[in-house]
Amino acid sequence: MDQSQQLPDAEERALRLPAHGTTVTAEDLRVRLVLAADLDDAIEIDASEVESVGQAVLQLLVAARAEAAAGGQEFRIANPSPAFVDRVNRSQLAAAIGLETGDVL
């Protein structure tokens, strides 16, 4: 494989959610999730910069986690911002996304 066709290393492929996850940004995220599922042993989503996240992005994360689980692939949310955690919890999607909230039931 020549230099122009080499795959980026894992750090360059990291999936960092945008500050404002909207329907417009969801398509780019969908493409990156598909690539990560094909290329990586684990899918890690960096949610550290999230200020707001919409329904389309949340739906993608739920679907990506379900797909990863079905394929035996690890899926995790890393460094979730307080805004991300709040939105996921208010949407009651923590379990579906795999976000550990620390809540004891």
Q: For residue 16, which amino acid is it? A: R
What does the alpha-carbon distance between residue 87 and residue 52 come to, in Å, rounded to a whole number?
8
Which pLDDT tens digit goes with each residue over 26-52?
999 999 999 988 887 889 999 999 999
Any idea where the domains of the chain sit in the sequence? 13-97
What does the alpha-carbon distance between residue 97 and residue 63 come to, in Å, rounded to a whole number?
8
What does the alpha-carbon distance between residue 84 and residue 30 come to, in Å, rounded to a whole number?
18
Question: How confident is the model at residue 100, as a pLDDT?
Answer: 77
Question: How confident is the model at residue 101, as a pLDDT?
Answer: 59
Q: Which of 11-15, 23-27, 41-45, 75-79 is the least confident region? A: 11-15
What does the alpha-carbon distance between residue 56 and residue 6 come to, in Å, rounded to a whole number?
31
Domain 13-97 has CATH 3.30.750.24: yes
6 has a pLDDT exceeding 50:
no
With vertex at residue 54, the alpha carbon angle to CA 26 and CA 86, rounded to the nearest 5 degrees, is 130
pTM: 0.81
